[in-house]
Structure 1
Amino acid sequence: MTSTDRRREFGAYLASLRRHSGRSQRQFAAVLCAGSGAQSITRNEVSRWERGERIPDVWLPTFAQVLGMPLHELEQAAAYARGDAKATLPGVAATLADLLPNGDALEFLAASPCGRRIGATTVEGLAARVHGLRLADDVLSGGDLIVPAFRELHAAVRLFRESSRSESTGRGLLVQIGELGQIAGWIASDAGHGKDAERAYRLGISAARQAGDAVLVAQLAGSLGYHLSNSGREREGLELAKAAVVEAGPDAPAATRALFLDRVAWAHTRAGEQQPALRALGEAHAALDATDGAPAPSWAYWVNREELEVMDARVFTELHRPLRAVPLLQDVLGRYDATHAREVALYRSWLAVALVDANEPERAAEEARRVIDTSGDLSSERTAERARTVLHRLKGFEDVPEAREVLADYGHLLLA
């Protein structure tokens, strides 16, 4: 692990402690100043610590006092960030390589014929916890959830390897491992752990294939394709997105087929292919209108017309069609659940970029400030990256006072 990785993990650790104290970055800066009698800490400085740009050595005693935790734990975490080989970081998730057995993640999982016997109730309990992780992801970010997600994945794989059960119970357990692989991969990607995300998705594909659940295989392949499309591997992402549609087949539930086609649209967009992207958007809407298919699986609960409109707007934004993107995003944001802070920040980031393309820098600057103020309290690399994208786009309007003020306040984020 590089020194930069260590400092970023240390920053994520500090951010987690601050959020668990119930304070925003601005509130935390204020209470630190009050606790030390100084007036020199700002919200921006707290943000730098949480991004791993600086180590707040002299402030650690005040941290410990404010947070009500042992000073030695913070000192150990700071030593980890500085590169001490013997130091560890409390609370940070192990990588998937640490959690899973050695070997290829695509290797078929092997069960123990002589382990403890499990039945349907065990699988039902695991399914409830998996769905709980999905619901938690609606309101929390990757950095908050990566530890419990990977613990559940590790426990589920271990249970499969060490238990005995009927064929139907084994299939149900494999399905839950597949679903866990998907949500753990999504969470890891959001937390900025790209390699762990990819391996979690691939493990999930292996489990779903063994379970014979083609729609779940497609969900995992499409999720991996989406991750690759957003990680500079656009051609691989596009091929996986298209393969997911084929894997699911024409009789897949309407919501899932719409989801998979939406991912194809995004993958074409990231690959710079405008017309195929627009065609895939239309196909996704047509798929969602179908009413005679099988019922959607529980993991597709969030796929609806509103979410398809969000993807429409994102594609239009990436294709520099602001006249189509701006009204859609404004309409969606006007109806969206404000408790889903990460999604709201992401959608506002696309709105800000679309407004830049529409030559509305004043309004774009206003949205940019909202994005950054929200994302500063989230442990999401997705929102942090989108904030940087918005700031980069505003740099073309430094002669506009509103844009210049935002860049003056937050330009340091571009150095992250």
Structure 2
Amino acid sequence: MRRRQFIRSAGAGAATIGLTLLTGGTAVAADRVGMVKVDDVRKMTRAFRETDNEFGGGATRSGLDNYLTNTVEPMLRDTRMTDAVKKPLFRAGVELRQLAGWVAYDVGHASDGRKHLREALNMSQEIEDDALVGEMFAAMSHHAAFRGNSEGAVDLALAAQQAARRSGIPALEAEAAVMEAHGRALEREQRPCLDALNRAERAFARVDTGRTPTWLAYFDSSYLAAKFAHTFRDIGMPAEAERFARRSLRMTEGYGRGRLFNTALLASTLADQQKVEEACAEARNAVRLATNVRSVRAASYLADVGRRLSPHSQNAQVQALYKQLDDIGVATPRF
């Protein structure tokens, strides 16, 4: 697969240039870490997250890794910080390191992604923050499912559920349950899969956005619908998957990469139902969205649509779609 369209220099876009200017060559100041610096980490994490959500990990990784290594990690090692600062700083550091894990995962560096998430989990456990512990396990479950490790996805989701229940945050309970459901789908365990989906739905009905942490704000009804669509598709229920994939596109602005993912997801559910023309139309929409996104996962989603359409490879629309995918470096079936 040629990845030139999905991973470019982190300095390519104006948003990325702004982050680079803020982070390039920085190092933690000599004075003791205080809450002002904790707030700075939170602000920078928010800026990196917004860029990642819109443009993908390829637009974020260099500046984020530099900031984490040269600025935040020295803060975390500073033995002079007070106890009152340690927990807020560690929480901020966990959020940043988790984001670094997602970014590495997004650009195809799975081992780096796992390393960041394990470190974020260790930090969460050190400060005994059950909510963050649950979120790290849920992220690790997501990664395992993407790699096809269904058993690992289920085990990690079950660990996430234990921490989520201790945290008392319904959105986190819903996330952990739907991650279990996806793992069960990959294992073709229909009844446990549907049971987990029911638990996710019930937990999400109890969500109070005023009590949901800001770092979990992304887990909204559109995100949940996308996970339901993935689950129904992978358990072999494409009509139900299509219904939720369409719901997943009712997204707020600022999630360009996610819109690409969900559009390709919809195309895959249509392909599974032999709705070839509709599948090609949605896949073309996803290709257009890929113009501004630098993400190996985006290439993977698009390649998956191509594979699902391979039984119809002689169809003129499928052949035209394959040409578009080839042009942007996405591998297509060859016969």
- TM-score, normalisation: structure 1: 0.70
- RMSD across aligned positions (CA): 2.7
CA deviation string 1:184-223 (max 9, x = no partner): 1111111111111000001111111111111101111211
Structure 1: runs of 5+ lacking an equivalent: 23-90, 92-114
Residue in structure 1 matched with residue 23 of structure 2 by the alignment: none
Q: 2:113 aligns with which of 173, 191, 197?
A: 197
Output the CA distance in 1 between the equivalents of 2:160 and 2:65: 24
2-structure distance, mates of 1:8, 1:397: 25
Quote the residue 1:288 is aligned against.
Answer: 204
Aligned to 1:366: 281
1:378 aligns with 2:315: no
CA distance in 2, matches of 1:165, 1:159: 9
What secondary structure, in the 3-state scheme, does the structure 1 residue paired with 2:331 have?
Answer: helix
Q: Give the aligned partner of residue 7 of structure 2.
A: 12
**2:25 corresponds to which residue?**
none
TM-aligned CA deviation for residue 246 of structure 1: 0.8
**Following superposition of structure 1 onto structure 2, how do residues 258-277 of structure 1 map, counting pairs within 5 Å?**
258-277=174-193
User: CA–CA distance in 1 between the matches of 2:120 and 2:241?
Assistant: 34
Map of 1:414 onto structure 2:
331
Q: How does 1:389-404 map to 2 (within 5 A)?
A: 389-404=304-319
Post-superposition offset of 1:331: 3.6
C-alpha distance in 1, partners of 2:167/2:210? 8
- Normalised to the residue count of structure 2, the TM-score between the two structures is 0.85
Change (3 A) 1:10 1:394: closer
Give the direction of change, closer, same or farther, for the CA distance of 1:415–1:392 in structure 2 (3 Å limit). closer
Q: CA deviation at 1:250?
A: 4.8
Instruction: Show the counterpart of 1:99.
Output: none
Going from structure 1 to structure 2, the CA distance change for 1:409 and 1:130 (only over 3 Å counts) comes to: closer
Write the distance in 1 (CA, Å) between the matches of 2:46 and 2:133.
Answer: 18
1:257 alignment partner, one of 147, 160, 173: 173
Task: Kindly report which structure 2 residues correspond to 1:39-50, keeping only aligned pairs within 5 A, or say none.
Answer: none
Structure 2 residue aligned with 1:120: 35
Count of aligned pairs: 317
| Corresponding position: 1:301 with 2:296 | no
1:137 aligns with 2:23: no
Instruction: Identify which range, 267-276 or 137-146, moves more after superposition.
Output: 267-276
Q: Report the AA paired with residue 234 of structure 2.
A: E
The percent identity for this pair of structures is: 22
Give the aligned partner of residue 75 of structure 1.
none
Shift of 1:151: 2.2
The answer as to 2:132 corresponding to 1:216 is yes
The answer as to whether partners of 1:310 and 1:332 remain within 8 angstroms in 2 is yes
Which residue identity is paired with 2:152? E
Distance (whole Å) between structure 2 residues aligned to residue 169 and residue 398 of structure 1:
59
Q: Is the 8 A contact 1:268 1:274 kept in 2?
A: yes
Kindly provide the amino acid, as one letter, of the partner of residue 400 in structure 1.
N
1:117-196 aligned within 5 A: 117-154=32-69, 155-196=71-112
Taking the aligned partners of 2:205 and 2:332, their CA distance within structure 1 comes to 45
1:124 shift after superposition: 2.0
Residue 126 of structure 1 deviates from its aligned partner by: 1.4
Structure 1 residues 408 and 290 mapped into 2: Cα distance closer, same or farther (>3 Å)?
closer
* SS state at 2:309 partner: helix
Give secondary structure in 2 for the equivalent of 1:359.
coil
CA contact (8 A) 1:118 1:163 kept: no
Alpha-carbon distance in 1 for matches of 2:247, 2:90: 40
Conservation of the 8 A alpha-carbon contact between 2:173 and 2:200: yes
What is the CA deviation profile of residues 327-356 of structure 1, one whole-angstrom value per residue up to 9, with x for unaligned ones? 3322432x3246422111111111111111
Deviates more, 1:353-362 or 1:266-275: 266-275
What is the CA-CA distance between 1:145 and the residue it aligns to? Answer: 0.7
Determine which structure has greater relative contact order: mean sequence separation of CA pairs < 8 Å that are 6+ residues apart, divided by chain length: 2
Separation in 2 of the partners of 1:120 and 1:142? 28
Query: Equivalents in 2 of 1:295, 1:331: separation in Å?
Result: 24
Distance 1:293 1:393 in 2: 37
Contact 1:262 1:284 in 2 (8 A): yes
Gaps of 5+ in 2: 21-29
Distance 1:293 1:246 in 2: 21
Alpha-carbon separation, structure 2, partners of 1:293 and 1:415: 42
Aligned residue identity for 2:130: A
Q: Do the aligned partners of residues 405 and 217 (structure 1) sit closer, same or farther apart at CA in structure 2, a change above 3 Å counting? A: same
* Structure number, greater radius of gyration: 1
Distance 1:360 1:150 in 2: 43
C-alpha contact 1:238 1:271 (8 A) present in aligned 2: no
Note closer, same or farther for the CA distance 1:403–1:292 as it changes in structure 2 (3 Å cut). closer
Whether the 8 Å CA contact 2:6–2:294 is kept in 1: the answer is no
Alignment of 1:322 with 2:317, yes or no, is no
* 2:272 aligns with one of 357, 363, 372: 357
